Homo-oligomer: A and B are copies of this chain.
């Protein structure tokens, strides 16, 4: 790496003006040194020591003075420059911490299993849990379904008219919104998945990707889900009032 000293204008040591006195930076060089210190503290993941800063500034730079100046520069701003021992860090001004610290709910990445289950529900809806397991070849944990419910992307659609009357799943309006789809028909089909390179060409001819059944259409062997069903399934507390 090149020596920054040679790359920055105005950073000639004071000797050049005669005299063997201590090197000092001229005003412009000092301003550059300030910019560098600012950028270093900003980009660092940890508070930055004065030695670290000094090592990256032209010789003769008065680090404590530069930091003090920077600190006063930020004193009225929304961000403050703070000193902890001999380390420096930027922090949100204490009086504004309320803006920054509101909704601390972190965004979580959907697990692979959840993605698969969600995709199956999207394409194969209305689909029962047993059918999902049949396609994936593994059992689906209750947690996975819960996560998708919590995300608001899947819902109970109805009940299959087969023994046990299993619940069928489908996707929600929020699902479409989140994934930028106008309607379920926008989900790419076999050819488009191939065209986008997601499916390789080597697939059997009987392979097909279902066209998901739109929101309002119930399958032929499907009953709409009722309030009663949900209570019966223990998914809703029995309704007492208007709530």
Judged by a CB distance under 8 angstroms, whether A34 is at the interface is: yes
Q: How many positions in chain A have a CB within 8 Å of any CB in the partner chain?
A: 52
Q: Report how far A109 CA is from B111 CA in the complex, Å.
A: 27
Interface residue from B39, B128, B145, B188 paired with A99 (Cβ < 8 Å): B39
Contacts A78-B37, A159-B186, A159-B188 known; A7 to B98 CB distance under 8 Å?
yes
Judged by a CB distance under 8 angstroms, whether A71 is at the interface is: no
**Minimum C-beta distance from A203 to chain B (A):** 14
Q: Which residues of B contact A200 (CB under 8 A)?
A: 142
Q: Report how far A121 CA is from B188 CA in the complex, Å.
A: 19
| Cβ B39 vs Cβ A140 within 8 A | no
Fill in one digit per residue for A181-217: 1 if any B CB lies within 8 Å of its CB, else 0: 0000010100110011110100000000000000000
Which A residues contact B (CB, under 8 angstroms)?
Answer: 1-2, 4, 7, 34-40, 42-43, 56, 76-79, 90, 92-93, 96, 98-103, 128-130, 140-142, 145, 156, 158-159, 164-167, 180, 186, 188, 191-192, 195-198, 200
